[in-house]
């Protein structure tokens, strides 16, 4: 095409174009007066950054003397692991590792999954190709920094050239960190941990190939560059997040998620629900500051963008449709397959846009559990499953965030089957909150608020303090104050609202 | 999650599940009686492969003695380049190459783009980071095998460790092949070329990083593993297609596509339109045979799948909405940005699902041009732009393919703004064909059939013979006969139908 392009007057035309754009797109985005459908949003953000690009000072971008920390983001980057999806596809993994010329594979799992069909398939597949591998099956659920350090120490002497994670999010996240620190032997553990708790160093080396085989339909960790763990000393959830941490390939085999008890299906699915809702409603990428001075500093959690929107909204619709079916009927293979697909799609969505309040608030909720033991979880000690702790605040959270973008919240309510034709934009939050509360109630065995988890007003201050360190996700929360005391008040009100819904 | 999973009776439950699924999902997919929305389609394919997985013989997959060539596909793989999108983002590319530790970069472009702002930005960005690079600007539009071989010979002595393509599809495809054969110095050129013309050897080595910066909103080549060229000896379009050929990163900068003349915008956009329509209507991945015996043999063009569907349908809607605006108003920056995004989304869609008849038939149309020179193309010699040759058969093609999946074709018609509420499924093809013909007419300067390109009935046999070698895309065409003579007849009728619409 280009060879027949008109070259003359290029510069002049460009300037005209940009000047026109500047005046035809007012900063207050007109699209927010349309139903908040992601096409409109695409228009929204594209117009907005077209307009921003029109400002000469910013057109010069990195070349400009202007302080980038003063500039808002002007670009987004979409990165995802390759995803292979199919029933029985686990059996291909030996050939994949051979195709990658892997000689020594570290297989990461936990003691329960190690006994399941998924690991049997994996062992057979690797043996069939004559691949040398060692299995680490001591991964902890909700891993702590020290359990991850043990895993890292375990792997060092084996020095693998590829990793294979088989399990839920805890397993996949642990494998990511084993791979990371195995490739940075000299690094301090806190170097890559998210700021403010860690140094948030970017990953600038090529890690070894990592293949992830999820056995739950929840975290979407098989597609993301995020690894979450508890920093015991700080009693806070944190992690490492960089797109170079993402697996090479996610192998999604619906036959591997059949063994989840329905209580686990429900809480994993609620994690998917919040991944999609939070990434769909996160601040737009081009409202985020600062503009990175180097693309490697552009966070994976960059705010909602036109591509993450497509994934988030599709995952939301699929979850609303298939989660209740997969929880109620353990033999509904279609619903289970769809939930695994939804978990992965939501993973691509939030992996590139981020999550915000539900996840930020969930960490202290799970961590400061007053003694609640969730029904259907056959464990001795108290447990608030991650998905439960995330979903319990959802009605209050989206009632709060709706004002930032009523049309997106109306679109979300519509995904729950609400007829929004005559709903006022001011009611978007209320309508979505009701739809969420009803969805949770209909799903069954879900707490109708923090009270049912054993929390009272006396716990709220500590819950707020446990949320504050989640800066990385809180900065994506629309409408949350930048000033610390104001932010504390807002979080306090959100936790109070969440006592009962 | 996994640690509290119920282990007992696993096997027994699995068997029950699978048996149930087998009987609850009849092979004739119930979803095709619903409006062909991609959610329904997801349900459709997931059910179908759940059902297929339920057959014990196939459950054993590779372990089974059964001949895989007898088996249909049971999985799909979604792979795409990372995509960075933003106005002015070209200026980041020097830092990207430095972050990749690139020491010697081969910059591939053509003589026209070499004079444009995009290349100025690139030179500045690389110089700013002190990166050593050489520019190859001799890329030909619609490259031939010999022009690509010249490019490959040119690059050998420089032996770069990274590639950067700046231009349209011809440039990006040439850069992909320079990278490929530079990493396989001993390989014969035909080794990797698509069968039946070439040997279709899979790419089993890690190629050097390739960053692609598109300057047209059309091919989507910045996200795909496909490189197309003319095989002069055979007078046929062919290419290399493997997901390992895909760029590392596509940098989509709307400021780089402003310089397209509106005629180029139109034909590039029609390519996007057909990419999305063809991938949306291609046979489902799980109807494709044979099932690959090794995942590296799974084609990039694997048929429609639940993830490609999301991209294809979104790209179709965006193209219908923004292409006319971007063609009519050269200063409509929003429409131009949206078309660049749509081109990339469509690239991810067809890059993982494939294209079929419009593209298969377009190659002889462009190649056997009787002397047509498209309006707005400032060239001396006759030219049928790729997008024009693809779109000219679209009404006939989708009238023909509609019977294979009326609901998908109705959904496509709906994307063109047709109210399908009372349209009979038998009329899906007619309705979509009309919508397409009207869209082309409204766009302006588009031929209303092959006659206006100078083709007559006397040319049809040669056009058919020129289409037959496009086996890789024809195999994805729904409703096309497997038997050669029957296929010839169908193609003949399609070309006849396309003389006038």
Whole-number Cα distances in Å, A190 to A193, A194, A201, A240, B479: 5, 8, 9, 9, 58
The predicted-structure confidence for B357-393, as pLDDT tens digits, reads as follows: 999 999 999 989 999 999 998 888 899 999 999 999 9
Give A212-233 as a DSSP string. Answer: EEESSSS--TTT-SEEEEEEGG
CB B166 within 8 A of CB B109: yes
Q: Are strands A104-108 and A132-136 parallel, antiparallel or unpaired?
A: parallel
pLDDT at A39: 36
pLDDT of res. A18 = 38
Mean pLDDT of B9-27: 37
Q: Which helix (H) or strand (E) covers residue B228, if one does?
A: strand B226-231
Between these two residues, B379 and B149, which has the higher pLDDT value? B149
The answer to whether the CB atoms of B4 and A377 lie below 8 A apart is: yes
- Determine the straight-line distance between the first and last CA of chain B, rounded to whole angstroms: 59
CB < 8 Å to A111, chain B: 3
Contacting residues of A for B64, CB less than 8 Å apart? none
* CATH number among 3.40.228.10, 3.30.70.520, 3.40.50.1970, 1.20.210.10, domain A82-257: 3.40.50.1970
Please, where in chain B does CATH 1.20.1090.10 lie?
262-497
Greater pLDDT, B455 or B232: B455
Residue pair B76/B295 in contact by the 8 Å Cβ criterion = no
Segments of A175-272 assigned E as strands: 210-214, 226-231, 236-241, 249-252
A42 inside 8 A of chain B by CB: yes
- Interface with chain B: mutation pick from A2, A43, A216, highest number of B CBs within 10 Å: A2
What does the pLDDT read at residue A6?
A: 40
Give yes or no for A381 touching B (CB within 8 A): no
Rounded to the nearest angstrom, the minimum Cα separation between A213 and chain B is 13
Return the pLDDT at B66: 63
Q: With CB atoms and an 8 Å threshold, state whether B168 touches A1.
A: yes
Interchain CB distance below 8 Å, A87 and B74:
yes
**What are the distances in angstroms from CA A358 to CA A158, A470, B179?**
39, 11, 45
A162-167, strands of its sheet edge to edge: A132-136, A104-108, A162-167, A210-214, A249-252, A82-85, B76-78
Do the bridges between strand A132-136 and strand A162-167 make them parallel or antiparallel, or are there none, so unpaired? unpaired
For A113, the closest of B2, B168, B254 (CB atoms) is: B2
- Give just the sign of the alpha carbon dihedral B435, B438, B442, B446: positive
CA B369 – CA B207 distance, rounded (Å): 36
ipTM over 0.85: yes
Q: What is the CA radius of gyration of chain B?
A: 23
Instruction: Give the span between the Cα atoms of B236 and B461, in whole angstroms.
Output: 15
Nearest to B46 among A78, A111, A334 (CB): A334
CB-based burial, A385-404: b 16+ in 10 Å, e otherwise: bbbbbbbbbbbbbbbbbbeb
Within A381-457, residue ranges assigned H as helices are: 386-391, 394-401, 406-415, 428-443
Residue in B82, B254, B310 closest to A50 by CB? B254
- At B4, the pLDDT band (50, 70, 90 cuts) reads very low
Tell me the CATH number for domain B262-497.
1.20.1090.10
Asked if residues B72 and A88 have their Cβ atoms less than 8 Å apart, the reply is: no
Comparing A195 with B119, which gets the higher pLDDT?
A: B119
Mean pLDDT estimate for chain B: 88
Range scoring the smallest mean pLDDT among A330-344, B68-82, B333-347: B68-82
Distance CA A229, CA A148 (A): 8
CB pair distance less than 8 Å for B14 and A378? no
Question: What value does the mean pLDDT take over residues B25-47?
Answer: 33
Q: Is B112 within 8 Å of chain A by CB?
A: yes
**Angle between helix B306-328 and helix B333-353 axes, rounded to 10 deg:** 150
Report the pLDDT averaged over residues B38-63.
39
CATH 3.40.50.1970 domain extents, chain A: 82-257
Question: Tokens 């939930």 correspond to what residue?
Answer: A339
Return the residue of A nearest to B320 by Cα: A39
pLDDT at residue B195 greater than cutoff 80: yes
Residue of B nearest to A254 (CA): B50
Question: Is 70 exceeded by the pLDDT of residue B105?
Answer: yes
Residues of A in contact with B383 (CB under 8 A): 4
Task: Name chain A contacts of B331, Cβ cutoff 8 Å.
Answer: 16-17, 20-21
> In this model, does residue B95 exceed pLDDT 70?
yes
B255 closest CA partner among A56, A179, A316 = A56
**How many percent of chain B have pLDDT more than 70?**
86
Contact A378/B52, CB-based, under 8 Å?
Answer: no
- Cα B466 versus chain centre, distance: 20
Q: What whole-number distance in Å separates Cα of residue A165 and Cα of residue A173? A: 9
Using a CB-CB distance cutoff of 8 angstroms, which residues of chain B are in contact with residue A95?
Answer: 294-296
Q: What is the mean pLDDT of residues B311-337?
A: 97
Q: Is B90 exposed, middle or buried (0-12, 13-18, 19+ CB in 10 A)?
A: buried
Distances in whole angstroms, Cα of residue B373 to Cα of each of A414, B109, B136, B274, B365? 49, 25, 28, 21, 13
Six-digit token string for A471:
């800066």
Q: Which residues of chain A have pLDDT under 70?
A: 1-66, 68
DSSP string, A303-356: -B-HHHHHHHHHHHHHHHHHHHHHHH-TT-HHHHHHHHHHHHHHHHHHHHH---
Residue with tokens 């065409």: B477
Q: How many CB pairs under 8 A join A and B?
A: 324
pLDDT tens readout for residues B124-140: 999 999 999 999 999 98
Q: What is the pLDDT of residue A193?
A: 95
If you measure CA to CA, which chain A residue comes closest to B253? A75
Q: With a cut of 60, say whether residue B99 has pLDDT above it.
A: yes
Q: Give me the pLDDT at residue B203, please.
A: 95
- How far away is chain A from the Cα of B489, in angstroms, using its nearest Cα? 33
């Amino acid at each position: 095409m280009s060879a027949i392009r008109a070259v003359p007057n290029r510069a002049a035309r460009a300037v005209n174009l940009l000047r026109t754009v500047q005046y035809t797109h007012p900063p207050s985005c007109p699209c927010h007066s349309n139903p908040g459908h992601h096409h409109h949003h695409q228009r929204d953000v594209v117009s907005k950054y077209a307009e921003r690009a029109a400002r000469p000072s910013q057109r010069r971008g990195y070349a400009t003397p202007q302080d980038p920390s003063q500039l808002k983001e002007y670009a987004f980057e979409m990165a995802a692991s390759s995803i292979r999806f199919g029933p029985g596809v686990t059996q291909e993994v030996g050939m994949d590792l051979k195709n990658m010329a892997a000689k020594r594979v570290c297989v990461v799992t936990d003691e329960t999954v190690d006994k399941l069909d998924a690991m049997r398939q994996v062992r057979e597949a690797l043996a069939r190709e004559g691949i040398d591998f060692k299995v680490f099956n001591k991964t902890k659920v909700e891993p702590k920094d020290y359990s991850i350090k043990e895993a890292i120490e375990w792997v060092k002497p084996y020095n693998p050239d590829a990793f294979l994670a088989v399990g839920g999010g805890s397993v996949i996240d642990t494998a990511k960190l084993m791979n990371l620190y195995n490739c940075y032997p000299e690094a301090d553990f806190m170097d890559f941990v998210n700021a403010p708790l860690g140094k948030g160093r970017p990953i600038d080396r090529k890690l070894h190939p990592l293949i992830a085989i999820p056995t739950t339909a929840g975290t979407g960790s098989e597609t993301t560059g995020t690894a979450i763990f508890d920093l015991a000393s700080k009693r806070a959830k944190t992690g490492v997040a960089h797109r170079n941490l993402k697996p090479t390939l996610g192998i999604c085999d619906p036959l591997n998620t059949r063994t989840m008890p329905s209580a686990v299906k429900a809480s994993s699915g609620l994690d998917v629900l919040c991944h999609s809702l939070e990434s769909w409603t996160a601040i737009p990428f081009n409202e985020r500051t600062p503009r990175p001075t180097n693309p490697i500093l552009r966070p994976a959690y960059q705010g909602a963008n036109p591509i993450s929107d497509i994934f988030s909204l599709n995952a939301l619709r699929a979850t609303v449709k298939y989660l209740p079916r997969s929880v109620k009927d353990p033999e509904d293979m279609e619903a289970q397959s769809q939930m695994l697909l939804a978990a992965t799609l939501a993973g691509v969505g939030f992996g590139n846009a981020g999550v915000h309040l539900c996840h930020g608030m969930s960490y202290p909720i799970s961590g400061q559990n007053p003694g609640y033991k969730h029904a259907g979880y056959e464990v001795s000690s108290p447990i608030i499953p991650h998905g439960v702790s995330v979903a319990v605040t959802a009605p209050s959270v989206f009632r709060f965030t709706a004002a930032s973008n009523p049309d997106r919240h109306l679109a979300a309510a519509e995904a729950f089957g609400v007829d929004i034709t005559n709903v006022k934009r001011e009611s978007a939050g209320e309508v979505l909150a009701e739809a969420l509360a009803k969805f949770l109630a209909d799903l069954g065995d879900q707490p109708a608020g923090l009270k049912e988890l054993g929390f009272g007003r006396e716990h709220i201050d500590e819950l707020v303090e446990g949320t504050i360190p989640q800066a990385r996700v809180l900065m994506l929360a629309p409408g949350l104050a930048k000033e610390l005391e104001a932010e504390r008040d807002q979080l306090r009100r959100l936790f109070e609202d969440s006592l009962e819904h």
